[in-house]
Amino acid sequence: MLIIRREQMAIFERAAEEDFERRLMIAMRAHHPLAVRDRSDEELRAEVRVAIARARGHGFRHESTIADFVSLYFSVGARFDEYPPVRAILRDEVVPLEKRVRWLMLRLSKEEWSEARGAGGGG
């Protein structure tokens, strides 16, 4: 039987996290070039880490949900999730947790996204 020690597992988990960060950086440069154009790779990685932490702070665990959240972080604003209509949906227990970010994209009006952008520090 193969036994993986905690130290080894921590190395695997860190490598997976760094790979996820790298993939998100590539995606942000490809899909939000204007929002990230002035950031060095180190700055972008640091901000991607902040965005991931914010997503996880809402309870999100699936990479796809976190990636959608990070995309909104860069396109709408770093604090878009503090805008009351956004916050309400992110906390809505009727909507399954991992579907809440997608639900935002479907439910908020253009006006609300514009207000969220202004409230969230613009991306």
* Sequence-separated (6 or more) residues with CB below 8 Å from residue 19: none
- pLDDT of res. 18: 96
The CA distance from 11 to 3, in Å, is 14
Tell me the mean pLDDT per 10 residues along the chain, length 123.
84 92 98 96 98 97 97 95 95 96 93 86 49
Per-residue pLDDT, 58: 97
pTM beyond 0.85, yes or no? yes
Cα–Cα distance list, 34 to 5, 6, 118 (Å) = 43, 41, 17
What was the pLDDT predicted at 12? 87
Radius of gyration of the chain (CA): 16
SS3 content of the chain, % helix, strand, coil (to 5): 75, 0, 25
pLDDT at position 120 is: 57
